[in-house]
Structure 1
Amino acid sequence: MAVQTGGVDYIYSTENAQLHHDIARRGLLLSEVPMGLGPTARHFPCRNRIISGLAQAVIVVEAAAKSGSLITARNAADQGRDVLAVPGHPFDARASDCNILLRDGATLIRNAADVLEVLGTQQTSPQPKTTSAQNSLTLTNSAISQTRIDAASTRKAKTQDLHAQILSRLGPTPAAQDQITRDVAHSQNHHDPAQIGAAMLELELEIEGHIIRHHGRMISAPPDRP
């Protein structure tokens, strides 16, 4: 299976032509954009939303500050998927978003065994009868699942609040992005600047295009926004 940024008939890039044909013949090509349409920057978060929805878990290995990986991880959390992250040195810019995800509750991953443990694929030998310990484990797993659902709902609510705070400070006249970031960061909910940057990117890259970017790190709302 391949989830494409452009239409399912659009080959990107040309060196992947044979792979594209092989997947089309033996597997599945999936996209939510019309056929014939080439990939654009705003389509990548939408493509990644489909990928995270199809996956059991999303693993972020390297992600610099304000990268699209944070958007994908947020989509995974909203979809009830596990979000896993590989930690990095706090001074390594390439690990900035990974460390942010870990701070916000993502599961720390060191190796493949950690991934298998999260996915629950390490099974013990079957028992002929259900024991009290197994019953306890079932109840524990149910509690964990409910906790994850509650956490996903909380993250979604926080994201919606962050989007609303950013948009409430934007009008058709361009404003400095840094000033908007400072205003939101010092608002009542005290959002992290890195989260604000990721939210701005998400709003900019959405199909509706809630943010318009101008020269000199200036941003504005679309002129036709109510």
Structure 2
Amino acid sequence: MEREELAAWLRLALTPGVGTATARRLLAAFGLPQQLFAQAPAAWRQVAGGQAQALAVEPEGLAGQLDASWTWLRADETAPRRILTLADPAYPPALLQTEDPPLLLYLLGRLPAEWPHAIAVVGSRNPTPQGLANARHFGRSFAQAGLTVVSGLARGIDGAAHEGALEGAPAGQLATIAVVGTGLDRVYPGQHLALSHEIARRGLLVSEYPLGTPPLAPNFPRRNRIIAALSAGTVVVEAALRSGSLITARLAAEQGKDVFAIPGSIHSPQARGCHALLKQGAKLVETAQDVLEELALPARRAGAAPATDEPGEREPESELLAALGFDPVSFDALVARTGMAPAVLQARLLECELQGHVARLPGGLFQRIEST
């Protein structure tokens, strides 16, 4: 892309009051942005009505954004960079078919020759320990089956899904795609800095937002339509009733994609969103293989390790693990269930915690973790 072409696309994308729908009508009428801005304002008004007036004024900060974008594209870094426009043949076809495709997509990482078969894995920013384990396991299993895992790089379920995909993907496979709500020159949350670098090396970071865009709250629900569009289906691992993950699930359903939900404890607030999806017709899944079979996708591809559909083999369940069940439980309740002396129970809980079978939760609660 030449600098002048990029400048015209940025001017159109940054013009206040001109949304994607209006921009697409203008592009359909006049061709590429360079041709569009060569037209007289009267011609714009015939297509865009009152919104056309904004096109006559160069957006504030355009020159700085152009310089920053041009420099970013040519930075001497190990991870390739690219800015796709709606007119670029490499633009994701599935996203192009949605009602509101971004005019520009910023890409950082391994640029695919063609967009891969992918599955979205999303969920709560404040998951249970079991939810984190499930997200990582599903991400790893999908990657082993040859799928690219798409998520949003958020804390909690998203990060675990990305990490699992990176663990499971064989060499040469696009492991995971992170669709972010900031400019690609920023990492949010900061705790995922190292993870974002690994995704740039073995996967792909995607944003519709200009460089320098901070983590503004409205950006994150909006980017969810891209997560849904890039994926054949969406798996919700854990979600509260007011979770952004339910937005992704709704958008996936509106795009005609399958929605899957993992059930949880009836006592867990983080399971209520999944249960609501199941009541609305989402497909209940317990293993990655459930999703692969529903989507009629192969369980593995050449060169990929077999997907581990079930959690890893467990040690025989102890009396304590059986007493724990899978719901959060207090220490006093465990004393009553097991009949153990408190000191003995404390020691057994610590042993199980060190072995990764039990997690301590806020409020003095304990929860059993399924081995993965």
Q: TM-score, normalised by structure 1?
A: 0.49
Larger proportion of helix: 1
Structure number with the bigger relative contact order (C-alpha 8 A, sep ≥ 6) is: 1
